């Protein structure tokens, strides 16, 4: 029978959760996977601009923690699709709590969907202005 792995700081659930997902990028990767992104290329194009070396390291760390799994979808060059495990999907509730807190306490903050709609509307508006000037 194996003994439990010792905790890095204490047995506190918050401290141990932060040791796994408490960095600047991990929950954003989980957010993007919850929103349907699957490949490295899709994840690296997130609006926050995660550096490629950090994304690669976070994907490895999240997989080692059992939060995501990688599945090869191309052999040459080797490329992977990433999906959340049940453990990773359970972080959706944590992200929703962050969304509620952020919208309530950080003026001007929006959800990812609202930001995407705003960016799309802005792009359409810009195209219309250019077309009007050209026409």
pLDDT, tens digit (0-9, with 9 covering 90-100), for 57-87: 999 999 999 999 999 999 999 999 999 999 9
Task: Judge whether residue 124 has pLDDT over 80.
Answer: no
Helices (H) and strands (E) in the chain, counts: 7, 2
Query: CA-to-CA distance for 29 and 55, rounded, in angstroms?
Result: 8
Domains of the chain, first to last: 13-134 (1.10.10.10)
pLDDT for the residue numbered 20: 94
User: Over 60: is that where the pLDDT of 29 sits?
Assistant: yes
CA-based end-to-end distance of the chain = 77
**Average pLDDT score, the chain:** 88
Record the pTM.
0.81
Q: How far apart are CA 120 and CA 20, in angstroms?
A: 34
């Amino acid at each position: 029978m194996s003994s439990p792995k010792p905790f890095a700081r204490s047995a506190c659930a918050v401290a141990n959760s932060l040791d796994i997902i408490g960095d600047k990028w991990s929950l954003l990767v989980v957010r993007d996977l919850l929103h349907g992104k699957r490949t490295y290329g899709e994840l690296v194009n997130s609006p926050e601009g995660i550096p490629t070396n950090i994304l690669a390291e976070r994907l490895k760390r999240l997989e080692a923690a059992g939060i995501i799994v990688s599945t090869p979808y191309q052999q040459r060059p080797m490329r992977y699709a990433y999906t959340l495990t049940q453990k990773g999907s359970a972080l959706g509730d944590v992200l929703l709590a962050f969304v509620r807190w952020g919208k309530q306490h950080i003026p001007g903050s929006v959800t990812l969907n609202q930001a995407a709609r705003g960016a799309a509307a802005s792009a359409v508006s810009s195209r219309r202005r250019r077309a009007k000037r050209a026409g």
